[in-house]
Amino acid sequence: MPEQLIKICGISTPEALDAAIAAGASHVGFVHYEPSPRHVSLELARSLSERVPDPMKTVLLLVNQEAEPTARALAAVQPDIVQFHGRETPEWCAALKTHTPFEIWKAVGVKDAGTLERAQRFAGAVDRILYDAPAGKLPGGQGLALDWSLLAGFEHKAPWGLAGGLTPDNVGEAIRLTGAPLVDTSSGVESAPGTKDVDKIRAFCQAAREAHL
């Protein structure tokens, strides 16, 4: 059975990063998007990423950035993966995938079977599609869950992951129902918006791994 991939997103402090490392997360995410309570500067994202040990992967989350600031962010942080969380098109993602060494992920809000099917247009343009709850005031990190039953038995056309409203209490059920190879949490392991909870990070990672037992 493949290893369960676990991403802790919205990391903004060394303490939260160390907790994710200790808990055995496979990916950590840094949000560079000023409206988010989890926003970090490029300098802080780079500083935190330099603490990340192999084989853990770093993910830089960007939202609706133009080409020049995108290039500047990637050059500054040098993440393993860039995750787009806005209105980016398959063409935009494919162009970046062709011209940069970074793995490209695209988060897509899923509200019904139609949006899930339309998300498959990113197949081939990105390295992973991340299914999230539909965007509200912010494009993610709001603790909202999508309807997992939409994913049960769905034939995905690209590698994928599940985000949106995942917590230590429900991530096991989500994995068992959808078969998600990667699960992604942010607000689900916080004590307040933008404040990561060390115990919740540990519990989330443990619950995700135990879903296969």
pLDDT at 2: 76
CB burial readout 121-155, b (16+ within 10 A) else e: ebeebbbbbbbbbebeebbbbbbbbbebebbeebe
**DSSP letter at 24?**
T
Tally of domains within the chain? 1
> Any idea what the CATH number is for the domain that residue 115 is in?
3.20.20.70
pLDDT digits (tens, 9 = 90+) for 169-188: 999 999 999 999 999 999 99
pLDDT digits (tens, 9 = 90+) for 125-163: 999 999 998 865 555 555 567 899 999 999 999 999 999
Residue 20's pLDDT band (boundaries 50, 70, 90)? very high
Can you give the residue range of the structural domain that contains 39?
5-210
- If you average pLDDT over residues 13-24, what whole number do you get? 98
Report CA Rg, the chain.
Answer: 16
The neighbour count for residue 62, using CB atoms within 10 Å, is 20
pLDDT at 185: 97
